[in-house]
Amino acid sequence: MLSLLRYKRKFPYLLQIMAQTRRSSSLPDEWPAKRARKAKRNNGTPHAKAKTGKYIDPVNSPWYVGAHVSVTGGVENAIMNAASIAADAFALFLKSPRKWTSPALTAQNIEDFKARMEEYHYEPRYVLPHGSYLINLGNPDPKKREKSYGCFVDDLHRCEQLGLEVYNFHVSAVRLRARITPVRGNINSSRCPGSSVGTGTTAESIALIAECLNRAHKTTTSVMTVLENMAGTGYVIGSQFSHLADIIAAVEDKSRVGVCLDTCHMFAAGYDIRTKKGWEDTVTKFDQQIGLSYLRAMHLNDSKTELASNRDRHETIGMGFIGLESFYHILTDPRVQGIPLILETPEPETYATEIEVLNALSTYTELDDKKKKALLTSIRKSVKRAGPPYRSNTRKRKGRKKPQQGEKKNDEDEEEYCDH
């Protein structure tokens, strides 16, 4: 132990790594102030006060910025987690996104969720549940598609139980007879949610997705199903606006379908949103092909990869290839007011800072170099405080061997998902 402390300066992250892996019970408490602040934030502060940030009072802001928060201990805890980072909106999983079945919501879960929604002054339209990574409504295999449909409808019923109005999900991923042509660049062979699961055409898969949506709308009563655009990885449906437009065209009840635009996915699919002109051109294309009336939410993420990479790799705001200026254009665009704008960046410990930065951007009439430098410095400091970067896609999954060349993959491998 003395050796570890002696080499603390030489290895600055050593103690922090050990603390994060729950092996630090015998080490001195190096961060009491940080833990005290965290405990204070989670002490049930009324939301109207908790979300008053350094840069802007979110109560008066027409841009509803938030993040995807944890539901550890029950879905009702998502609300307090959102309030603790001063979020005006939030996303959550209603069950495990990596399992086909999960325990049903209890009466206590539902009662506590609704009570806390009222206590912390959150409106249902600014809560964006996220679907399972396993769902693939465009799967040509009837049995697997029905399995996805069952998981999908179960989520919609959970939304109705909690009084939520919208539900966001990844459209589809299938193996096509011909690869999808990206907006720009070439699609690589990386795998994404539900890929390598059959053979079909784009049109066939789009028809299957719309058919499932029509069935789900008749089975449920009110929840709006929100299609998320994709990055174009492998053989994914939804990387092009035209795919989403074709699905919506085949949906019978247009009042129950919408779109969630992910900035990282757009950029990876070839839509260059880095400049004011690029953002305007992209919104114009969206309006022409789909219609702005269908825009119900956005995911705000920077990108770890370059334009048209077709790779879904999220990065902290301002730290990736998209850059801070793009988010300034978005947060000053009145067309994205009044909808949930959700962070899905890799570092949950930086969410509060990223929300402050995005709220600050919405107040600026121009983003000069001085303001940009100050905001980026704030983000970098927050990332540094968070410690060694957490990247879920870098962790090895236990109990799964990489198949050898020519070896057939099992069903679980075929229904793999993509980590952000």
Rounded distance, CA 196 to CA 219, Å? 29
Q: Is 299 a catalytic residue?
A: yes
Q: Which of 98, 177, 335, 385 is catalytic?
A: 98
Q: Is 68 a catalytic residue?
A: no
Q: Which of 145, 158, 265, 313 is catalytic?
A: 265
Nearest-CA neighbor of 309 among 234, 225, 229? 234
Q: Is 312 a catalytic residue?
A: yes
Q: Which of 158, 243, 311, 314 is catalytic?
A: 314
Q: Which of 133, 235, 351, 417 is catalytic?
A: 133
Q: Which of 47, 68, 158, 170 is catalytic?
A: 170
Q: Is 344 a catalytic residue?
A: yes
Q: Is 179 a catalytic residue?
A: no
Q: Is 329 a catalytic residue?
A: no
Q: Is 98 a catalytic residue?
A: yes
Q: Which of 76, 88, 246, 262 is catalytic?
A: 262
Q: Which of 130, 217, 296, 329 is catalytic?
A: 130
Q: Which of 68, 217, 299, 420 is catalytic?
A: 299
Residue 151, Cβ density class (10 Å: 0-12 exposed, 13-18 middle, ≥19 buried): buried
Q: Is 170 a catalytic residue?
A: yes
Vertex 81 angle, CA 80 and 82, to 5°:
90
Q: Is 217 a catalytic residue?
A: no
Q: Is 314 a catalytic residue?
A: yes
Rounded distance, CA 305 to CA 318, Å? 13
Q: Is 391 a catalytic residue?
A: no
Where on the phi/psi map is residue 66: left (φ > 0), alpha (ψ -120 to 50), or beta? beta
Q: Which of 312, 356, 414, 416 is catalytic?
A: 312
Active site residues: 98, 130, 133, 170, 228, 262, 265, 299, 312, 314, 344
